[in-house]
Amino acid sequence: MLYKYVKPERIDILENLNIVFTPFDELNDPFECQFVLNPIPEEELEAQNDENLAEWAQVQVWLEHRIGQLGMLCLTHTDQSLPMWAHYADNHQGFVLGFEEDNSFFKSDAYYIEPTLRTKQELPIPGFGTLREVEYVDERSVINLGDEVPWEFFFRKHKDWTYEKEVRIFRNRKDGAKLAGCRKSLVSLPSDVINSVIVGANASEVLEEKIIRALETNNLRHVELKRARLHRRKFEIVIEQLQNG
């Protein structure tokens, strides 16, 4: 089981059965997907003087023209994270979606269009079109000029993010409908990929009613509806059943 924490206004996920895939540079971690390129030996002194400005610029161009074509969906193994209920579910006012990780939705192809030759470059690599665990590390990922493409770097984050227990998947943003006014894209969700909804401890009755109506409208009777509440003696979330699937 994998989970997605969302704010109350994201009720549209259940109402329309669409979910957002976000470009890497619009996520809340500014180090997302950023790897380090070492200078060539004859340019090491210059790189030290300008804090690797030229190498940083090369990485940004490479990312923009390749990884920038992709969108990312970030999920987690836990529905019990107090920081994520606070940050991503709007101070417990939102809800958490539960997903069936073996669903075919998480087994698709991923690709980008090579910017020079304009050819389709398939990405038969775990995490691109499929789910992949995020690794939490202390140091930035580093390559030398001419090294192989560092695909595994896009599944690494600093250890400060360990509590998120993240699993992610990349897909080309052209697979979905473009959202007006931004680079995010909406990808259709099959109804059987959702298997639970947990209403936040501070969520309104209005939101709960909207969730119930969306489940009924979209024939999601198999989805378990639950409610979170704050434990009365511990720093814990208690998940209680509201409705059988």
Q: Give me the residue label for tokens 């895939």.
A: 21
> What is the model's pLDDT at position 180?
57
- When the pLDDT of each residue in the chain is averaged and rounded to a whole number, the result is 93
Query: What is the pLDDT averaged over residues 76-96?
Result: 98
Q: How many CA atoms lie within 13 A of 4 on its CB side?
A: 25
Alpha-carbon distance of 160 to 218, in angstroms, equals 38
Average pLDDT of the segment spanning 137-161 = 93
What's the pLDDT score for residue 243?
A: 63
- Rg (the chain; Cα; Å): 20
Q: How far does Cα 184 stand from its chain's mean position?
A: 12
Residues 44-72, mean pLDDT to the nearest whole number: 89
Quote the percentage of the chain above a pLDDT of 90: 81
* Confidence check: pLDDT of 156 > 50: yes
Q: What average pLDDT does this structure show over 123-128? A: 96
* pLDDT at 41 > cutoff 90: no
Question: Residue 245 — pLDDT band, cuts 50, 70, 90?
Answer: very low
Cα(173)–Cα(69) distance, rounded to whole angstroms? Answer: 6
Question: pTM value?
Answer: 0.91
What's the CA gap between 57 and 61, in Å, rounded? 6
- Range 95-109 average pLDDT: 96
pLDDT of residue 239: 96
Of the candidate ranges 27-41, 88-102, 150-164, 226-240, the one whose mean pLDDT is the lowest: 27-41
